[in-house]
């Protein structure tokens, strides 16, 4: 399970609070157009978005049905286990989302947080706890599994979005890690997660994928498959 979140009186929380308050507001004056595009790009169903990437790569990179089946099984195992781990944390640590935290900022025992009872996020807030981010656990887990499976962090692929506000409705990435890191930023820019929850969710996804890849669905007769595993920290 993910580690416990920091206290609301911790300086880390204050920094996260001020960041999402400024960048994730519906009426933000500091969020750039490029940041808004990232927010809306990843405001589609992120499970469907990740699955579209996997299907596209399976079609263009693999010509063996067995390899395709193994790839799909591995990413689904990693994604599901990432969700389970993330939700175990949400049940253990029922932390508030930015919309509640910012509206109650004057009543949180932290003298450094300034509340705004009228604050609104860029997109609607999900009705379950903040810590840790399920979207980051899932997407980072998927992207890490793709890098492990193909043995390369660098690969070109496009993430598409059905969100009507996404303009453009797709972004081409040159590495799996870059896509995963965009989701860390996107959930802040959307106004629905604190950075700490995103970063912990991302670490959950990475850890789960490494374990799944090393222990499940190993190729027949292969106990030491090589993989490209770059440093994953921001």
**What pLDDT score was predicted for residue 233?**
57
CB-count burial class (<10 Å; 0-12, 13-18, 19+) for 49? buried
pLDDT band at 68 (very low <50, low <70, confident <90, very high): very high
Question: What is the DSSP secondary structure assignment for residue 151, as one 8-state letter?
Answer: T
What are the structure tokens assigned to 125, written together? 């807030």
Distances (CA, A) of 66 to 58, 63, 116, 220: 11, 9, 55, 12
CB 23 within 8 Å of CB 32: no
Average pLDDT of the segment spanning 125-138 = 97
Domain boundaries, the chain: 36-93+127-215
Chain centroid to Cα 159, Å, comes to 14
pLDDT-based confidence at residue 11 (cuts at 50, 70, 90) = very high
pLDDT at 103 over 70: yes
CA dihedral 224, 226, 228, 231 (to 10 degrees): 30
In what helix (H) or strand (E) does residue 115 lie, and over which residues does it extend?
A: none
71, two tokens: 């790839």
Grade residue 224 by pLDDT with cuts at 50, 70 and 90.
very low
Residues facing residue 121 across a β-bridge: 25
Q: How many CB atoms lie within 10 A of CB 114?
A: 12
Question: Which pTM does this prediction carry?
Answer: 0.93
Please report which confidence band the pLDDT of residue 226 belongs to, taking 50, 70 and 90 as the band edges. Answer: very low
Q: Among 1-10, 14-23, 38-47, 160-169, where is mean pLDDT lowest? A: 1-10
User: What mean pLDDT comes out for the span 134-154?
Assistant: 98
**CA dihedral sign of residues 20, 21, 23, 25:** positive
DSSP reduced 3-state for 173: strand
Q: Mean pLDDT throughout 42-58?
A: 98
Radius of gyration of the chain (CA): 18
Predicted confidence (pLDDT) at residue 222 exceeds the cutoff of 70: no
Structure tokens at 216: 């499940």
Report pLDDT digits (tens) over 206-217.
999 999 999 999
Average pLDDT of 45-56?
98
Percent of the chain with pLDDT over 90: 92
Nearest to 160, CA basis, from 63, 41, 2, 17: 41
Using pLDDT thresholds of 50, 70 and 90, give the confidence band for residue 220. confident
């Amino acid at each position: 399970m993910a580690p416990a979140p920091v206290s609301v009186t911790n300086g880390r929380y204050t920094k996260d609070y001020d960041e999402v308050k400024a960048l994730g507001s519906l009426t933000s004056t500091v969020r750039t157009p490029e940041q808004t595009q990232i927010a809306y790009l990843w405001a589609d169903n992120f499970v469907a978005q990740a699955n579209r990437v996997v299907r596209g790569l399976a079609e263009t990179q693999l010509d063996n049905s067995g390899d395709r089946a193994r790839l799909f099984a591995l990413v689904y195992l990693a994604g599901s286990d990432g969700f389970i781990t993330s939700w175990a944390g949400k049940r253990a640590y029922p932390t508030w989302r930015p919309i509640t935290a910012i509206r109650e900022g004057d009543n949180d025992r932290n003298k450094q947080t300034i509340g705004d009872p009228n604050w609104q996020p860029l997109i609607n807030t999900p009705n379950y706890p903040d810590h840790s981010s399920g979207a980051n656990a899932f997407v980072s887990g998927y992207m890490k599994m793709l890098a492990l499976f193909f043995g390369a962090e660098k690969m070109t692929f496009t993430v598409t979005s059905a969100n009507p506000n996404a303009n453009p409705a797709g972004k081409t990435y040159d590495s799996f890690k870059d896509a995963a890191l965009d989701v860390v930023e996107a959930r802040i820019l959307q106004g629905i997660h604190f950075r700490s929850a995103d970063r912990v969710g991302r670490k959950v996804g990475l850890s789960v994928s490494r374990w799944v890849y090393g222990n499940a669905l190993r190729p027949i007769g292969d106990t030491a498959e090589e993989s490209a595993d770059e440093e994953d920290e921001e």
